[in-house]
Structure formats: C-alpha cells, structure tokens
Amino acid sequence: ARNSEKAQSMLFRFREAQAADLGILDAGRSRRPKLITSETSIPACEKWRGQVLKEISRKVSKIQDQALSDFMIRDLNDEINKAMREKHMWEVQIRNLGGPNYMRSAKVYDEAGREIQGAGKGYRYFGRAKELPGVKELFEAQSKPKEEKPLESRADLRKQVDAAYYGYNLDEEDGTLLDYELFKEKEAFDNLLKQGNGEVPEGWEPLPGDKGDGEGWRLPTLDQVQEELCYKYLYLLLIYHQRHVRRVAKPTIVGSRNSHLGSICDDEISPPQTMGSRHPQYGQPRPKKAMNSAFSGLRARHCICLVLFSISLLFIFRYNARNSISLPASSSADSIEWESLTEADQPAEAVTALSQPKDSDQLSADSATITLIRSLDQSLVPQAGHRSKSNSGRLIVVGDIHGMKSDLERLLVKLDFDSTRDHLVCAGDMISKGPDSIGVLELLMQLGASAVRGNHEDGVLKAWKNLHAKAASAAQNSASEQEDDTSDAEADGVIEGRGKKHRNRKQGHKALAKQLTKEQVKWLKDLPVILKIGDIEGMGSVVVVHAGLMPGLELKKQNPYMVMNIRTINPRKQVPSESHKGRVWTKLWNKYQSHLPKNERTTVIYGHDSRRGLSVGDFTKGIDTGCLRGGKLTAFVLEGGKREVKSSLVHVKCKQKR
C-alpha cells in the first residue's frame, strides 16, 4: 500500500510536469520554485511561505488520524519536517530581501487552532509520530526528572583523597618540583632577611631547613607512620589491659548483698557488681557461683587482650625484620630518584635485598670468577646499509629453550638459518626441565652460538661444583653424598618457603650436572651474565640478559644474581624481587630510558618470565613465550637494511608439552 501511494504521487507529479511542458498549465504561477534564492520578490516569497504554512497545517491535522498506519505516519512526519525546513528558508529569504522577520515569533497553528511546536533545529516528531515504537521511549526518558546527587560531606571527600596528596608516592616530576620549590622558598626567605637587616618578628621560630644547617623538613615516610601508629596502638592496648583485666587480680569477697569488685584507680569509681545473692535458707552469699559468673566475662576480655597484644608484637617483629634487610644509605630507595640521579650520586655497589640472599645456596656457583659483562664481536652485529651475502647477516636472539631441541631445530629451519652468515644468541635457560638439554648444548656449540647465563645454567654449574667437591674426598664419598642430598633438599625447602617445586628443580640440576662433559662445563662457565650487542639505530645500546636489569644502575654495578632472577621491583622498598608480586621492572626501565638522551638509552632483550609471555616495549623485549609448557619458541631477529636495522619476531609452536 505504501509503494502504491508513492507511485500514484509520482504519477501526479509527472502529469503536472507534462502539462506544464505542453503549456496547458502555468507552472510559474502554481508551482513553487526549487531554488528559493532565485525568487527576488518579497510578495512572491510571502505567497510561497503562506502556501507552505497551509501544507504544514493540513498535514499536521492529518497525522492525528487514528486510521493511519505506522508507515503513513512516518511518511507524513518526514513531509512535515521538509516543509518546516522550506518555511524557514523562505523566511530567511524574506529577511534578506528587506522584508519582515518572521523568525522572531514564528508560531504555526494547525486547522484546529492548536500551536505546532516545530521550531528549532533537528528532526521533529508531530502528532501520532510521538507514539511510534522507539520514539515513545525517547520522549518518556526525556520527561523523567534528573536525580540530583546529594552533596558530599567533608568526611566523604577525604576518603577519596589519594596518598600522593600528602606527599607520598612521588614520581620523578613531583620530586624535582618539590626540590625546586624548596630552593626558591629558601632563596626568598634569605632575600627577606637581607631587606629587613636580619630582623624577624617577635616569637618567630625558623622551620628546619631555614636555619641554614642543611636539615630540611620532610614528610614522614609510610614506614615511619606505620611504626608510630603501631606503638601507639600497643600503648592503648596496655592501658586497656591495666584498667579492665587487672581488676580481677585481688578480688574482695564480702558476705553482704553489696559486695563488688573495687576500682583499680583512685580517680575512677566503677559501678558495683553483685557477686551473688543470699541463700534462701541460711542467708549467706554464694561466692563460688558468683565468682564463676564474674570471671566468665573477664576471662573473655583477658583472652581478647592477649590475642591483640600478640598480634601487635608480631606486627612489630615483622616490621623490624623487614627493616633489617632494607637498603644501606648508598643504595636506598631515596638514592633511586632517577630524575635527579647523576653518575656521581649513584651507589658504588649494586647492593639490594635480592643481591643478599638469606641462604648461601642462592648465590652463583662461582661468583668470584663469573663474567659479568662481555661485548659481542661487532662484525656479527648487523648495520644499516651493509646488508649483503658477503657481509654480516642476521643476529637472532632466542628465548628460553629449556632442553627443547626439536623445537629449536624447527625454528632454525623456519628462519633459514645459515651459520656462515647468521649468528645465534640465546637469552639464558637453554638447559634444564626439557627432554634433551645435552642435545641443545651440543647444537649451540656446533653452531658457534653466543649466550648469557640464566638461573638454570647457574644452578647446574653449582650442582656440578658440589659433585666434584665431594669427589675430592673419596674416603667420605658415599656418606657425604647422602648428607649433601639431605642438606640440599632441606635448604631448598626452607628458601622462602618454596617447597617441593624447588627441591625437584635442584635434583634435576644435579642429574643434569652428572651428564655434562668438560667441554660443555667450560662453555657454560664462560657465559657472561650481560652480553653487550652494541649500538643499533633506533634502539640505542642493545644488551641481552636472562631476567632483567635494575633501572638507575650502570651495567658494571648490576648484581649477577639479580640479573638472572629479577621479575618485579618492590614498590615500597624500591628493591628488586624474583617473585611475581610487585611492579614489573620493565615498566620502570622503559620510563627511565624515555627520560634519557637518545645516545644514552639502552634496550634490553630478555627471557625468564614465561608467565607474562611475549612483552615488547620501547626499550624492553621479553621473548620467553613458554615453549616448555606447550607455548611457542620465539626469536627476535635483527637484520640490516638499506636505511635502518629492521627487527622482527619469528615463532614456532612447541609440539612437546610438559
């Protein structure tokens, strides 16, 4: 029906145009011009405006008809909106020609005399069009009054204030700004004293830092606030214990109706507490039952006090124990303010909580002879503009292999690896856990690959050293071996509560150490902890490590154990940690490098953290993608191009799943 109506309307317009072309109908007198600006007569414009108003009035009255379908209502509403826009354009043309301004009070009425609310911009709905599906909900939503949100009290606002408002958790910019403000305040104070000839108002006491003694006033740290609150809480607990528990120390039982427990303080009078009622036959008090009822409540309070007291002591002991391993002054968290850190201000040694393990077994196998840094031969490093078959080829850095030899071979095949042109670098943990660690070592040595020492290579070397140390004392060989196995298992069990997982790891290291040849042991011992690749345009100085680096420290000051084990940085202590809890070291590293000049930036390629998987940042490239657990084996490829050194990632799906 809707299409037939449109067809009929189109036929009428065609007949009208045909009659105008044949001269039967004067189109200039009966049809409005299509181009409104072409009409230059004000009376003619007012005539056409009136005709449009009649059409609007007629159609608005028609749209109220209950017999119309939804399609007809939508068509009528579209025609009314078009007519409203045309009316507005005629009014603009009349105003431009110098006629009256109808737009000031443009009220339109339908045939019933009701005002048509159609003024304004945008699409409008008239009559029954407001009841169409989807439109009705729109008007109902607009008619609902907005709920006014009650004003928040001062206490509610304080709940949402961040700790940074009070000076905690300052970032680099805030720290620099505070130092600048402190300097300017002191400078202004000195100028004020000079202008006043050293005279200050009576009763003036300079704040710390204004005396010129070098001691500036600082906000207390979070640890200091916690310590003070802990001791205050303990003091209040002791007062409560004295007032409410010691009342039963020497209770006085008097054979009268008003016998009660006396107050322990001279200035405090407690209400009488009846110990018991008189016996109905003999008239004597029953103290035993009364004492039981009195002590039942006091024993409960006494137990609560003891529990709270124990919790307080435990909190204090844990606080002191945590502070006992805090950084010394040379490497404390205050010295790692990277915005203001200079080379002269950096600590002389990389001493961290992670670099001082509680158990000696966590130390490197031969920390005295370990190679911390080694530079790669620059002829193996790809350069821009030198990519050719006769020159240096690609540099391929592979993540944690963990004895998965077959997957490594498939990755090399996918890379079309050529040992005469390309060079292979492993980011540690080539061995242990997997099915063929010895095969991986033989393949890497055959290809002339470079590598860095990981925590598993370090553990295997330590196990190999212990085995040969026991072999030196042949007389006590079997006994010492059994004793060492027990002590090793016990040591692994107590290291930070790691339990069975690390005991099994140590046994695996020991079993693998027994299979190593002298050449393989020598190759593993010769691995550096940090391998310097060199300067690459767009990446700065590139290094390969197993786990990560501590931001703000030079490479020569990095701790080997930390480089092989770091995962996160403790946000409170600003010290590295090998656990997954804390702030990921890569975030701090990328932020720190972004503030350095371009010629001083360093990009780190690392593995170790398979839980986070592939993690590519601006200055960090994490390529341990969990091949051992059925993930992928990933290679970071550097290849020289005509204008720049190109980098890419290549993966293979690991078939064996552990």
Which domains are present in the chain?
A: 31-103+125-142 (1.10.287.660), 373-471+503-653 (3.60.21.10)
**DSSP assignment letter at 145:** P
Query: What is the distance between the alpha carbons of residues 13 and 1, in angstroms, rounded to a whole number?
Result: 19
Rounded alpha-carbon distances, angstroms, from residue 481 to 340, 373, 488, 511? 53, 35, 10, 13
Q: Is 396 helix (H, G, I), strand (E, B) or coil?
A: strand
Q: Which residues pair with 650 in a beta bridge?
A: 635
Q: Is 615 helix (H, G, I), strand (E, B) or coil?
A: strand
Confidence of residue 270 (pLDDT cuts 50, 70, 90): very low
CB atoms within 10 A of CB 57: 20
Tell me what the mean pLDDT of segment 510-529 comes to: 91
User: Minimal CA–CA distance to 561: which of 571, 551, 549?
Assistant: 549
Confidence of residue 624 (pLDDT cuts 50, 70, 90): very high
**Tokens found for residue 413:** 């095949």
Cβ atoms of 543 and 376 closer than 8 Å:
no
Alpha-carbon dihedral sign for residues 543, 547, 548, 554: negative
The continuous run of DSSP H or E covering 405 comes out as: helix 405-415
Least confident stretch, 22-31, 326-335, 519-528, 532-541: 326-335
Question: Is the confidence at residue 584, as pLDDT, over 80?
Answer: yes
Tell me what the mean pLDDT of segment 10-18 comes to: 82
Query: What is the distance between the alpha carbons of residues 562 and 549, in angstroms, rounded to a whole number?
Result: 8
Cβ atoms of 453 and 428 closer than 8 Å:
yes
What percent of the chain has pLDDT above 90?
Answer: 20
**DSSP assignment letter at 513:** H
Query: With a threshold of 0.85, does the pTM exceed it?
Result: no
Mean pLDDT of the chain: 73
Contacts of 160 (CB under 8 A, 6+ apart): none
Query: What is the distance between the alpha carbons of residues 191 and 378, in angstroms, rounded to a whole number?
Result: 58
Phi, psi of 101 (to 5 degrees): -95, 95
**DSSP assignment letter at 402:** T
Cβ atoms of 529 and 563 closer than 8 Å:
yes
Tell me what the mean pLDDT of segment 235-254 comes to: 55
DSSP strand E in 476-596: where? 530-536, 540-544, 568-569, 576-577, 583-584
Query: What is the distance between the alpha carbons of residues 116 and 109, in angstroms, rounded to a whole number?
Result: 5
